[in-house]
Structure 1
Amino acid sequence: MPNEPSTTPSQRRKPVSTAPIPANTAMRFRWWRETVMLRGLWLLVGGLSPERASALGRRIMRFIGPHSAKHRHVRANLAIMCPERSKTEIEALSRQVWGSLGATLAEFVHLDTLTNTVTDTPAIEVVCENTDADFLAHRKPCIFVAAHLGNWELSSWGIQHFGYPVDVVYKPQDNPRLDALVMPRRQRLGCGLVPVRNAVRNLMKSLKQGRSVGLHVDVRVEDAPLSPFAGLEAATTTMPAWLARKFECDIVPVHTERVGDARFRVILHPSIPWRDATTGEPKSIELLTAEMNEAVAGLIRRVPGQWLCTKRRWPKKAMQERGAYS
């Protein structure tokens, strides 16, 4: 079995936080502070409409985010992803990133309303740009790949709404208190949730049962092979490619685009076939991963101000050589 990045679908049991418990007092205080802030935000927006909650969350984080230590990573990641943008434009996009994150955090309180389809004005539009006959007929499970765009939590809902039961890999919050707050609301989306640690067996089980699987592949995976991503080699999970070859499933990019306050468009994109259309031979894991990265980078470039990129995506040295942190 090739190197497997830590990822796999769960057995539809209630996920339990695997976040470590810190011994460090400063860390405990920081986690307590983060939890109080999120509880406070939810208390503040809980009585508002989804639209007003989204707008308020965006305004709050557009103010707070640029003052955080992670702001430098947001700017650097955007500088690599959008090399044609000026520093002024990158700074403006960075503030949009924080605003989108704030809106997403506020929208957690209103997930039931956002996913309600019994209404004349649904909050989520699902658009299929995939014309593959097998995909449209739901003949086989798929491996859905996404970036953290818009309210990325809604991608799994859109996939299911289109007719594909799906199990989604997730990484527990480093802060177990935050994890305990977020998980019950995330579970309301109805998808299977697979902890990233030792996910492989569960993902394989899901595919064997005819369920699709979903992974967010725009984040750095430690010790993973390097693959081109937005013109620069990046440590990238090869799990989607490995599963695609093993189960003869296509990879389908998907992303959620924010089109207004508490209004979204989930777009299902053309499939990335697991085998070569000319020879019929399986594509290599390296080629499939590169094609996946190219597709995902394209999605991010459509709405770079909605990309959650608060952690360094590429090798530090390579980013510094590109002047991303200057």
Structure 2
Amino acid sequence: MARWTVGQRLKNDAIYRVIRATLAVARRLPLPLAGALGALAGRLGAWIARSESRRAEEACARSLGLGQPEARALARAAFASLGRSALELCSALDRPDALLGRVSFSPEDRARLDAALAERRGVVFVTAHLGSWELMAWALASMGYPIHTIAAPSYDPRLTRLLRRLRRERGVRSIWRSAPSAARRTLSVLRSGEILGALIDQSTRVPSVDVDFFGRPAPTPSGAAALALRTGAEVVAGFLTRRADRYDLRIRRLAVTRRGRDDVTANTARMTRAIEEAIRGAPDQWVWMHRRWERR
């Protein structure tokens, strides 16, 4: 915070207070009302954030071959989904069972995750900003799975501390990728036979490789593949998507190619194909407004 200008400090203080106030109000809302208000807020956000809305529409049209009306409707639905998931989580902070009770985890999907863990080499769990990814981590932790997630710290250290506390209360342990101990902790998690979650569906300032994503090359974080190759960990792709008022948790095991110097790219591409397939199954629940195909 010491590096902020006076204007930045005032702006960030205001944002922090709004977030704390939103949390305080949302905690008192019934879950159905929170979901409805969140969806409404998301649609309002789509109207306010015109640039992001146009970007989402263009991405929907180009990636899915949609006409303008269909692309616009899908982009707005994606904003609504994001708002709904966020406010539902806030509403459930003090009563998580109300939301966790809506998660369906089939015996077949559970068996896939259990089989990967049974190898005792650790599990690299790749996922995307699809559906309710935070709720997925809550759900896995509530079922007794040892889940750690790689996360980017917020621009505001107060928000980073808030996120760490809220996740820890639900049994989810965060590894902040900028921390000096991040590399050591990620290796320790896998060598202990536990689960390391990684979101790899966005273009960020981390080591990346270009792989196909909806027919176009997209810079994609390669750390998950590199870790799997280095440690011999199992790899699964998992997603939690909404179906009416419930959520479905799906797990898919992914083979790891260990053949040569292009292994990182080949495995990142395989992970990304799994993500694309999941998005195609619930396109209204992905973050189309992100600059996915631009190098950061």
> What's the TM-score, normalizing by structure 1?
0.78
Q: Compute the displacement of 1:252 (Å).
A: 0.5
Extract unaligned runs of 5+ from structure 1: 1-19, 317-326
Partner of 2:224: 240
- 1:307 is aligned, of 286, 292, 295, to 286
Q: Residue 130 and residue 114 in structure 1: after superposition, are their counterparts in 2 closer, same or farther (change >3 A)?
A: closer
- Matched with 1:75 is 57
Higher relative contact order (CA 8 A, sep 6+): 1
Equivalent residue, structure 2, for 1:320: none
- CA distance in structure 1 between the aligned counterparts of 2:117 and 2:104, rounded to whole angstroms: 20
**8 A Cα contact 1:126 1:265, kept in partner:** yes
Q: CA deviation at 1:296?
A: 0.6
Relative distance call for 1:133 and 1:153 in structure 2 (3 A) is closer
Q: In 1, Cα distance between the equivalents of 2:2 and 2:54?
A: 27
* Letter of the 1:195 counterpart: W
Identify the range of structure 1 (49-58 vs 153-162) with the bigger mean alpha-carbon deviation.
153-162
For the structure 1 residues 258 and 227, does the alpha-carbon distance in structure 2 shift closer, same or farther, using more than 3 Å as the test? Answer: same
In the alignment, which residue of structure 1 is the partner of 2:201? 218
Q: Deviations over 1:136-193 (max 9, x none)?
A: 6733321100011122102223334555312111112223343344332222221221
- Of residues 14, 24, 32 in structure 2, which corresponds to 1:51? 32
Q: Structure 1 residues 237 and 21, CA, compared in 2 at 3 Å: closer, same or farther?
A: farther
How far does residue 99 in structure 1 lie from its aligned partner after superposition?
1.3
1:58/1:177 CA distance change after superposition, 3 Å: farther
Distance 1:59 1:116 in 2: 21
Q: Describe the shift of the 1:229–1:167 C-alpha distance in structure 2 as closer, same or farther (beyond 3 A).
A: same
- Contact between 2:113 and 2:236, CA under 8 Å: does it hold in 1? no
Q: 1:273 aligns with which of 238, 249, 255?
A: 255
How far is the alpha carbon of 1:79 from its aligned partner? Answer: 3.4
Counterpart of 1:209 in structure 2 is 192
Question: For the Cα contact (< 8 Å) 1:149–1:256, is it kept in 2?
Answer: yes
Change (3 A) 1:160 1:80: farther
Q: 1:159 aligns with which of 106, 119, 140?
A: 140
Q: Distance in 2 between matches of 1:143 and 1:192?
A: 15
Offset at residue 219 of structure 1 (A): 0.8
Looking at structure 2, the residues matched to 89 and 112 of structure 1 have their Cα atoms a distance apart, in angstroms, of: 38
Q: Does structure 1 conserve the Cα–Cα contact (< 8 Å) formed by 2:211 and 2:265? A: yes
* Counterpart amino acid of residue 227 in structure 2: L
In the superposition, relative to structure 1, how do residues 246 and 186 fare at CA in structure 2: closer, same or farther (>3 Å)?
same
Supply the distance in 2 between the matched residues of 1:70 and 1:33 (Cα, whole angstroms). 22
Aligned to 2:14: 33
What is the CA RMSD across the aligned residues, in angstroms?
2.8
Q: Does 1:284 align with 2:263?
A: yes
3-state DSSP class of the match of 1:95?
helix
Q: CA deviation at 1:22?
A: 4.5
Aligned residues: 287
Query: Pick from 166, 169, 172: which aligns with 1:191?
Result: 172
Return closer, same or farther for 1:142/1:86 CA change in 2, 3 Å cut-off: same
Write the distance in 1 (CA, Å) between the matches of 2:166 and 2:113: 35
Distance 1:80 1:249, change over 3 A: farther
The answer as to 2:44 corresponding to 1:86 is no
Q: In 2 relative to 1, CA 43–165 (structure 1 residues): closer, same or farther, beyond 3 Å?
A: closer
Q: Which has the higher helix share?
A: 2
Q: Which amino acid aligns with 2:202?
A: V
Q: Which deviates the most, 64-73 or 185-194?
A: 64-73
Instruction: State the AA in 2 paired with 1:219.
Output: Q
